[in-house]
Amino acid sequence: MTFGIDLGTTHSCVAHIDDAGKPVIIKSAIGEDTTPSAVYFESRQNAIVGRAAKNEALLAPDLVAQLVKRDMGTKAEYMFHGERHTPETVSALILRELARTAAEHTGENVHDVVITVPAYFGVAEREATRAAGQLAGLNVLDVLAEPVAAAMHYQAVTGGSASAEHILVYDLGGGTFDTTVISLEGDDIAVLCTDGDDRLGGADWDDVIAGYLLSQLEAAHPHLRPHDDPQFMQDLLISAERLKKELSMVQARRHIMRFGGSVTQVEFTREQMEDLTAALLERTVAVTERMIATARARGVGHFDDVLLVGGMTRLPAVTRILKERLGLDARHHDPDLAVAKGAALFALLRQVRPDREQPGKAEDVAARTGLTVPEVQQIAAKRVTTVVPRGFGTRGIDATDPLSATDPVNARTIVLHLLPANTQLPADTGPYTFYTVIDNQRAVGVEVWEQAGPVESPDLNDNRKIGEGMLRNLPARLPVRTPIEVTFFMSETGLLTVHATEPRSGTDLRFDLQIGNLDQAGMEQARKSVDGYDVSG
């Protein structure tokens, strides 16, 4: 049995294909569809995940890890009870709890999974997510973009269309935002373009609302210093999240704050919330406008459907601004659960696809899932293609700098994007020619850089270095400007392979980009750390 996991910034959930062949959500240990992505480190041996962990944040905020998805692919570290943790190890504990409850519910061992990530996640974030799954003891069949998962669920619900459909997925979750144009035609699901902001989501709305409530308390009682009390501030964030959800359904709410023996009452309206958070919503509009322009340049000027995914899309302001500003008639598509359900469908596809030519494989899968053999064969026929989420390139000399001709060692360097954003995968750049900068150069460093800003830019400050390799043992006495050829290849699952060669001698370097905090030894140590915890919900 395979499972789909939506590993979210604020909430996560897991789904599987039931005996009727339908994707269904597996409820948490306390009967909820989603599990808060929070971990309370009760001791060096015990970790509590989910609702109970989020509640513990009120009493022990320094022992609770939250929003770690925003740190995936970085070298962030957290300390709990003297133990070092990374985004990967914290995420692994969340995944372990999801797997534990899924196993209890289904009676099946949870091993093969597909984990979803925002479409705009780069290589580093995707590989960190894959590592988290491995640390949790799972076999990660694939890391799937959330809008693709939502589109798979949409196609399953609507039955699909023989003619081409173009849908726009607007995905605003707890911590990330992206918007994606997807083509659906028969059995093909193809991402045409994507754009996003991986530090924009519901948590930012909570921060703004909490800041407003705090300002009202401090204005009423200037002598108090509530911002110095971490427990009060944690409670304020939880109250802000609750108010945000309530004001999606009603026009006004009254909030009472008690601190230092004083009581402050605040009347808070939906209109106030929308005014306070207007800049955040404008950021989603700017990204969506940019992505629509990209789609238009690729020949897509009309969308057959606009899907709203992610809990934050329940805000009435979202549908209103998309209609008023962009002319988009958007509708909700199972906002909290569509991604996990789509991931479960894709996990089944991955289970069937590697052996679809194997005699009896369709019958075997049908017997284990409750699907008919034709249904299994139809799933196996599906083809999913996606795109490079951001530009990737290498560092080289700026040919426009006059020093590049006379003193290349001291010339300005820039990032040359060999793989532009929204290139369809798999992608092979073919060889790009660079040159040595001095006579008798015996080694060349090959750095891999990823676009960090909203648009591609050659400036180093607008990119981030994510890996490197060294082409060594070049022949002696090579003259300056000896050609060096560099090729990038990105697989359909987002693994980046770099190949550099000196054509005259055949000296070459080939490496799969190793990303994240953990090398092999680090992975083993982290796995022992994760395995050392008793995890409960």
Strand partners, 384: 189
Contact 270, 252 (CB under 8 A): yes
pLDDT recorded at residue 354: 52
How big is the CA angle at 357 (ends 351 and 360), to the nearest 5 degrees? 80
What single string gives the DSSP state of each residue in 289-350?
HHHHHHHHHTT----SEEEEESGGGGSHHHHHHHHHHH---EEE--TTTHHHHHHHHHHHHH
User: Is residue 404 domain-shared with residue 473, that is, in the same domain?
Assistant: yes
Instruction: Summarize pLDDT for 394-408 with one digit per residue, the tens.
Output: 999 999 999 998 999
User: Is residue 350 domain-shared with residue 273, that is, in the same domain?
Assistant: no
Listed range (88-97, 347-356, 458-467) with the worst mean pLDDT: 347-356
Model confidence at 357, in pLDDT bands (50, 70, 90)? low
Strand partners, 395: 415
Gap between the Cα atoms of 383 and 376, Å rounded? 14
Instruction: Summarize pLDDT for 60-90 with one digit per residue, the tens.
Output: 999 999 999 999 988 899 999 999 999 999 9
- Residue 464 included in any domain: yes
> Rounded to a whole number, what is the largest CA-CA distance in the chain?
80
Number of domains comprising the chain: 3
- Residue 14 included in any domain: yes
Kindly state the average pLDDT of the residues 277-286: 97
Which CATH number belongs to the domain containing residue 409 in this structure?
Answer: 2.60.34.10
Q: Residue 186, by phi and psi: left (phi above 0), alpha (psi -120 to 50) or beta?
A: left
User: Is residue 291 domain-shared with residue 321, that is, in the same domain?
Assistant: yes
pLDDT recorded at residue 467: 86
User: Is residue 91 domain-shared with residue 9, that is, in the same domain?
Assistant: yes
Instruction: Summarize pLDDT for 40-61 with one digit per residue, the tens.
Output: 999 999 999 999 999 998 889 9
Identify the domain boundary among 385, 400, 416.
Answer: 385
User: Is residue 254 domain-shared with residue 346, that is, in the same domain?
Assistant: no
Gap between the Cα atoms of 346 and 129, Å rounded? 17
User: Is residue 362 domain-shared with residue 294, that is, in the same domain?
Assistant: yes
Range of the domain at 342: 2-200+283-385
Model confidence at 124, in pLDDT bands (50, 70, 90)? confident
Angle of helix 361-369 versus helix 373-380 axis, rounded to 10: 110
User: Is residue 207 domain-shared with residue 334, that is, in the same domain?
Assistant: no
Closest by CA position to 222, among listed 260, 278, 277: 260
User: Is residue 150 domain-shared with residue 296, that is, in the same domain?
Assistant: yes
Pairing mode, strands 112-117 and 83-85 = unpaired
**pLDDT at 187 exceeding the cut of 90:** no
Q: Is the peptide bond before 454 cis (omega within 30 degrees of 0)?
A: no
User: Is residue 155 domain-shared with residue 10, that is, in the same domain?
Assistant: yes
Q: Express as a percent the part of the chain with pLDDT over 90.
A: 74
**pLDDT at 525 exceeding the cut of 90:** no
- Residue 518 included in any domain: no
pLDDT recorded at residue 186: 83
Kindly compute the dihedral angle of the four CA atoms of residues 139, 178, 451, 67, in this order, to the nearest 10 degrees: -60
pLDDT recorded at residue 359: 56
Kindly state the average pLDDT of the residues 409-430: 94
User: Is residue 135 domain-shared with residue 196, that is, in the same domain?
Assistant: yes
- Residue 521 included in any domain: no
**pLDDT at 178 exceeding the cut of 80:** yes
Q: Give the helix, strand, coil percentages of the chain, each rounded to 5.
A: 35, 30, 35
Identify the domain boundary among 345, 369, 385.
Answer: 385
pLDDT recorded at residue 517: 54
- What is the DSSP-derived secondary structure letter of residue 251? S
Kindly state the average pLDDT of the residues 328-344: 95
pLDDT recorded at residue 468: 87
How big is the CA angle at 26 (ends 161 and 51), to the nearest 5 degrees? 125
User: Is residue 189 domain-shared with residue 224, that is, in the same domain?
Assistant: no
Kindly state the average pLDDT of the residues 412-430: 94
Model confidence at 356, in pLDDT bands (50, 70, 90)? very low
Arithmetic mean of pLDDT over the chain: 91
Q: Which structure tokens are listed for 261?
A: 């023996």
Which CATH number belongs to the domain containing residue 244 in this structure?
Answer: 3.90.640.10
Which CATH number belongs to the domain containing residue 291 in this structure?
Answer: 3.30.420.40
Identify the domain boundary among 278, 307, 328.
Answer: 278
User: Is residue 66 domain-shared with residue 185, that is, in the same domain?
Assistant: yes
